[in-house]
Amino acid sequence: MTDFVVVDTDVVSFLLKGDTRAQAYRSHLQDKVLALSFMTVAELYRWAYERQWGPVRQAWFRRTAACIHYFTF
């Protein structure tokens, strides 16, 4: 059985940026499949758009996002 954990936008942001605050959540995420709500996905794409990420960073984000399960309900 696969264990999913729904991750908040802030936590995903900490993880993606390598922020030290992510450390507080790592034990809860270990050996779990990360899942995001559609709203979190939208917020992350908006975040990248507003910061005018270039093609290399956008490609990195798409590769990283492909490893995450999305709940679309």
- The reported pLDDT for the residue numbered 27 is 93
Question: What count of residues does the chain have?
Answer: 73
pTM of the entire predicted model: 0.74
User: What tens-digit pLDDT sequence spans the chain (73 residues)?
Assistant: 678 888 999 998 898 889 999 999 999 999 888 888 888 888 988 988 899 989 998 898 888 877 777 766 5
- Domains of the chain, by residue range, sit at 4-71
